[in-house]
Chain A
Amino acid sequence: MSRRSGRADRGATPKRRRTRAEARRERAALRPGTRRDQPRSGRPPSAPLLYLLRHLQAAFAAAGRARRARLHTTLTTAVVGIALALPAAFLVALENIEEVAGGWQEGAPQASLFLEREAEPQAVREHAGEVAANEGVVDVEVVTPEQALAEFRAGSEFDAALELLDTNPLPPVLVVTADRSLTPEQVVSLAESLADDGRVVRMRLDQEWVERLHAMMNLAERALWSVGVLLALAVILVIGNTIRLTIESRRHEVEILKLIGGSNGFVRRPFLYEGMAYGLLGGVLAWVLTELGRWLLAGPTEQLADAYAADFALSGLGLAGGALVVATGLVLGLLGAWTAVARHLAAIEPR
C-alpha cells in the first residue's frame, strides 16, 4: 500500500484551492454550445420553432400510443362523450322549451285596464289606439260594458242580483297583450306606465303563468349548471385516472427518459396531449350524440307540433354550441391530465 492511498484513507482534502476562473471555465465546458457553434445541418431549430416542434413531437407520440391502445382509448372516449352529452342535451332541451313557451300566445302576459264607467265608446276606442302604439304592446282588445255584462251573465249565478240593478255597473275594459319576449319586470313597468293615466281607474296584471314559467326555467338552468359542474368534475377524474394508469404502465420509460436528461416538461408533454386527445374525442362524440338524439326525436316532435297546430322544429346545438362542447372537452382533458401528471410524474425518480 502506498503512502498516497494511506492519506486518502484519512479523507484528506485536496490541498489546492480551485480558483474562480477555473470553475468558470469548467462550467463552460458542460454548457451546451450555442446554436451557431453547431454545423449548419445539425443546428437545432430556433427557440420558438423548437418549442412548436417538440409539441408536435409529443402530440404525434400520444396519437401513436392511443392508436395502439385502442380499447383503452375507445372506453375513455365513450365515458367522456356520454358525460359531456348529458349537459349538452339538457341545454338543447331547455332552449327548445323556451322557444315553445314563447310561441304560445296564451303564455303572453296580459294586463286589464279598467276605465271610467262613463267613458264614451268613441273615446275608449281612441284610448285603445293610443295604448296599442306603445312599444311592447302586441294587441289591445276593447271589452265594452255590454259585452262584459253578457259574459258575466252567461257564466255566473249572480243573474238574479244583476236583475235588481237598473244601470250596468261594469266599466269598459282594455285587455292589453304584451310582447312575450319581455321579462316579467319589463311587463310590470309597461303595465304601470299604461295605468298611469287619468282615464284608467284600475289596472290588473295577469302574468302568473309567465312568472311561474320563468321561475321554472331559472330553476332548470340552475340545475343544468350544477349537473354540468358535477359531470365536468367526473370527466376530469376519469381522464386523470386514465392518465395515471398510462403513467404507471410507462413508468420504466419515464425513468429512463429522466435518466438521460429528459426535463419534466419533456416527460410531461405526451401525457398532457393524451389527456387533451381524450377530451377532444369525447367532445366530438358528445356533439354527435346530441345530434343523434335530436334526429331521433324529430319525427315525434313534428307529430306533436302538428297536433297543436303549431309551427315548430327542434333546434340542435348548432356550430357554435358544438364547438363549445368540443372545446370544453379539450380543456377538461387537459385539466384531468394535469392533475395526474402533477401528482404521479414528479414522484418517479430515475434509479
Chain B
Amino acid sequence: MIHFDRVSKRYPRAGRDGLRGVSLEIAEGELVFITGHSGAGKTTLLRLIPLLERPSGGRLTVAGVDVDQLPRRRIPLLRQRIGVTFQDHRLLQDRSVFENVAMPLEIAGVPRREAARRVRAALDKVGLLAKEQVDPVTLSGGEQQRVGIARAVVNRPPVLLADEPTGNLDPELSNEIMGLFTSFQAIGTTVLIATHDLDLVERLGYRMITLEQGELRADRPAREGVG
C-alpha cells in the first residue's frame, strides 16, 4: 500500500534532514507502530504520505501511485482518502466539535442527515458525544486529540495516519483509543501510528518500526498471531 524506496527529506531552510534513505513497505490492511526519540523523523515520515511534504530524494509510492507524478489537482483526492490525526490537533477553533468532525464529510458531499449520523458515531467512539456542541478551545488537550481522531476516521478512510494519538491521554483512555485503531485495522484499514508509548506497543505486539535521526534503525515484525 505504501512503499518507501530510499526516501529522504531535507528541510532546506533549516538545513536539517527529516528522513535519510528510508526504505519501507507497508502492506494493505497492516497496522504499524513508528517509534523513535524526539526528532527522529516520525512526523516527517507520516507527513510525506498525504503529500503534506514532498520527498527530496528517493521514490514514494502510495496506493500504486508515485507521488512525484501525481498531478497537483489530484492531491486533494488522495488526502480525502487518508485520515490523519496531528500532533497539534489542527482543529478549527471557531467551529463546534460537531462541525470540526463533519468537515471531511462536507468536502465529500455526504448528505446532511447521513453526515450527522456518522459524526455522532465517530464522536461516540472517542467518548465525546456529550460535547458535540462545545467549542474546541474549551476542551482539554486529550479531548482535542480525540476530536482530531474522530475527524480522521469519520469518512472511513482506507489509510489512517496517527501522530502521537495518545500523547495526552491517561493509560485507560490510551488503551481505548488504541483499541479503536486496531478495530479499524481489523476491517482492512491500513494504519500507521507514531508513538512514544513503548509499553503499549510491546503489549499489543504489532509490527514496529524504529527511527533514529531520520534513518531506519529497526523493523520488528508483528508477533505471531497478531494483525
Does A156 make an interface contact (CB < 8 A)?
Answer: no
Assembly CA distance A27 to B158 (angstroms): 11
Interface string of B80-117 (1 = CB under 8 A from A): 11101000001110100000000110111111011001
Known: A5-B219, A44-B108, A54-B109. A263 touches B76 (CB 8 A): yes
Closest to A18 in B: B3
Chain A residues within an 8 Å CB radius of B168: none
Chain A residues near B113 (CB-CB < 8 A)? 41
Chain A interface mostly: helix
Are B216's CB and A5's CB within 8 A?
A: yes
Give how many B residues have a beta carbon under 8 Å from the other chain's beta carbons: 49
Contacts of B77 in A (CB 8 A): 32, 261, 263
A174-230: which have CB < 8 Å to B? none
Q: Are A13 and B92 in contact (CB under 8 A)?
A: no
Closest to B63 in A: A30
Q: Give complex CA distance A307, B87 in Å.
A: 81
Task: Tell me if B215 counts as interface (CB < 8 A to partner A).
Answer: yes
On chain A, the residues within 8 Å of B22 by CB distance are 8, 11
Residues 53-78 (chain B) with a chain A CB within 8 angstroms: 61-65, 73, 76-78
Q: Which residues of B contact A12 (CB under 8 A)?
A: 23
Partner of A42, one of B73, B103, B114: B114
Interface: B37 (CB within 8 A): no
A234 on interface, CB distance cutoff 8 Å: no
**B159: Cβ under 8 A from any A Cβ:** yes
From the candidates B78, B81, B110, B117, name the one contacting A44 in the complex (CB within 8 A).
B110
Find out whether the CB atom of A13 lies under 8 angstroms from the CB atom of B23.
yes
* In the assembled complex, B137 has its CB within 8 A of some CB on chain A: no
B1 within 8 A of A: yes
Residues of A within 8 A of B217 (CB): 1, 5, 8
Do the beta carbons of B92 and A252 come within 8 Å of each other?
yes
Name the B residues within 8 Å of A11 (CB-CB): 6, 21-23
Q: Is the C-beta of B199 less than 8 angstroms from some C-beta in chain A?
A: no
CA distance A8 to B63 in the complex (A): 22
Find out whether the CB atom of B107 lies under 8 angstroms from the CB atom of A266: yes
B contact residues around A252 at 8 Å (CB): 92
A44-B108, A44-B110, A259-B84 given; A27·B63 CB < 8 A:
yes
Chain B residues numbered 99-149 whose CB sits less than 8 Å from any CB in chain A: 103-104, 106-111, 113-114, 117-118
- Residue among B6, B80, B92, B216 making CB contact with A256, cutoff 8 Å: B92
**Which residues of the other chain, A, contact B5 by a CB distance below 8 angstroms?**
13-14
Contact partner of B107 (CB less than 8 A), chosen from A9, A25, A262, is: A262
A1, A13, A350: residue with the most chain B Cβ atoms closer than 10 Å: A350
- Taking CB atoms, residues of chain B closer than 8 Å to A18 are 3
Supposing A261-B76, A350-B52 touch, asked if A45 and B64 sit within 8 A by C-beta, the answer is: no
A49 to chain B, nearest CB (A): 9
Residues of A at the B interface (CB closer than 8 Å) are: 1-2, 4-5, 8-9, 11-14, 18, 22-27, 29-32, 41-45, 50, 53-54, 57, 252-253, 256-264, 266, 350-351
A-B contact list, 11 entries, CB within 8 Å: A5-B218, A11-B6, A26-B64, A30-B158, A30-B159, A256-B92, A257-B107, A260-B151, A261-B78, A261-B81, A264-B73
Other than the known A44-B108, A264-B73, what 13 A-B pairs have Cβ atoms closer than 8 Å?
A: A2-B218, A11-B23, A26-B64, A29-B63, A30-B62, A30-B65, A253-B92, A258-B79, A260-B80, A260-B84, A260-B103, A261-B81, A263-B76
